[in-house]
Copies of this chain bind each other. A is one copy, B any other.
Amino acid sequence: MPAAAAAMTARYGAGAEPKAGPWNETLAVLMSHRSVRGFRTDAPPEGTLETLVAAAQSAATSSNLQTWSVVAVDRPEVRKEIAAIAGNQKHIEVCPIFLVFLADTSRNGRLAQEAGVELAGLPYLESFLVSSIDAALAAQNTVVAAESLGLANVYIGAVRNDVTRVAELLGLPPGAAPVFGLCIGYPLPGREGEVKPRLPQDAILHRETYDAADSGHRAAYDPRMEEFSRRQEMAGSTWSQRVIARLGTFKALHGREKLKEKIIGLGFPLR
């Protein structure tokens, strides 16, 4: 199957492809994902947002608790401030659909309050984790749905630079916290990007027990990423260099060193 083989080569690099398996249209959508930061301003057809959210709600949610929500933000002044919080990511202002996904236990809290019951299970790290995972599963379905419709996108983790201010801007009740944003729209011509190579599959997929031996994974991947980044961004750096640049300094946290106290402040005690 040449399409499957080509998709594997694009994702892993020539010579690093995993064993070929079955193939179909949905796999083609999944495998060709790329993050796009240059959007046209024209809106997708009517009903698109509702279809994306229907796909999102179709994702699994822990015990059907549905502990997530999403806010569609259009107001230019709010987009502008979130873009600034996110380190001046202009595409947040430009893309036709901008969503902020929330870890949201407040809906469950409200129904319990009305019933005169206290939710003893809520104040734990578990609840924050479950609701963040609920939001992530929903968001990933949104991404797949969007890409199946030719809509490009990029996650905006940098809303976590200041969750307190983003929560204020969106009028969130206690028990709801922004987890990440998502820009969606048609890609600008020339900004569609290229499939980004990932670590060899053996580095990620372990059999029976975890194998911490590197077995040449980075030696193979570092030059591949260096070549990719040179082609895409004119600044060649290896994966190892990028990991160290991103995680090596306190400064690169851009305020996220305060995430814990801010999440607690938004009504998740993280016990």
Q: Which residues of A contact B (CB under 8 A)?
A: 4, 7-8, 11-12, 18-27, 29-33, 35, 45-51, 53-66, 68-75, 78, 102, 106-108, 110-112, 115, 117-122, 124-127, 129-130, 132-133, 136-137, 139-141, 143-145, 148-149, 154-155, 157, 160, 170-173, 176, 179-180, 195-196, 198-199, 201, 203-210, 212, 214, 218, 225, 239-240, 242-244, 246-250, 252-253, 256-257, 259-260, 263, 270-271
Contact = CB atoms under 8 A, between A and B. Distances in A.
A170 B210 contact: yes
Copies in the complex: 2
A198 to B, nearest CB: 4
A63 B206 contact: no
Contact of A115 (B62, B72, B157, B240): B240
A4 B27 CA distance: 20
B50 A33 contact: no
A40 to B, nearest CB: 17
11 contacts: A30-B58, A57-B204, A64-B225, A64-B242, A71-B207, A74-B207, A112-B244, A126-B253, A126-B257, A127-B247, A257-B271
A50 B248 contact: no
A263 B72 CA distance: 33
Query: Which residue among A33, A57, A171, A176 has the maximum number of chain B CB atoms within 10 Å of its CB?
Result: A57
A93 to B, nearest CB: 15
A246 B30 contact: no
A146 to B, nearest CB: 10
Given A133-B179, A136-B133, A30 B144 contact: yes
Given A140-B140, A240-B115, A22 B149 contact: yes
A6 to B, nearest CB: 12
